[in-house]
Amino acid sequence: MKFTVTLKDPDCLAECIRDAVMADVVKLDLADDAERDAVADMREAAARDVCATWFEYGEYLEVEIDTEAKTATVLPR
C-alpha cells in the first residue's frame, strides 16, 4: 500500500537553514558583523532555493509511504 503524508511546519525549515548557515559562517571568522550577516543572508537564500524543490511555501513537505517496500520518499512539489 502507498499513501502520501503532507507535513506542515511554517518555522522548521527556516530555523534549520538559519542554524546551519550560522554554524558555517562562524567558521569564516569574519570580524565585521555586517559582512557576516550579508554572507549568511546570501547562503540562506541559496539554501531556500534548493529546498524549494521539495518544500512548497517553505513549509509543506509531501512524503510518500510505501508499506510493502518499507520506504518513505520525499516528493518534489
- Specify the pLDDT at position 31: 86
pTM: 0.83
pLDDT by position in tens, the chain (length 77): 999 999 999 999 999 999 999 999 999 988 888 999 999 999 999 999 999 999 999 999 999 999 999 999 999 99
What is the grid cell recorded at 52?
524549494
- Residue-level pLDDT at 16: 96
CA distance 65 to 73: 7
CA 62, 64, 70, 71 dihedral sign is negative
The pLDDT assigned to 29 comes to 85
| CA-based nearest residue to 12, from 40, 73, 71, 54 | 54
Angle between helices 12-26 and 33-51 (to 10 degrees): 130
Q: For position 30, what pLDDT does the model report? A: 87
Distance of alpha carbon 63 from alpha carbon 18, whole angstroms: 23
Query: In this predicted structure, what is the pLDDT of residue 14?
Result: 95
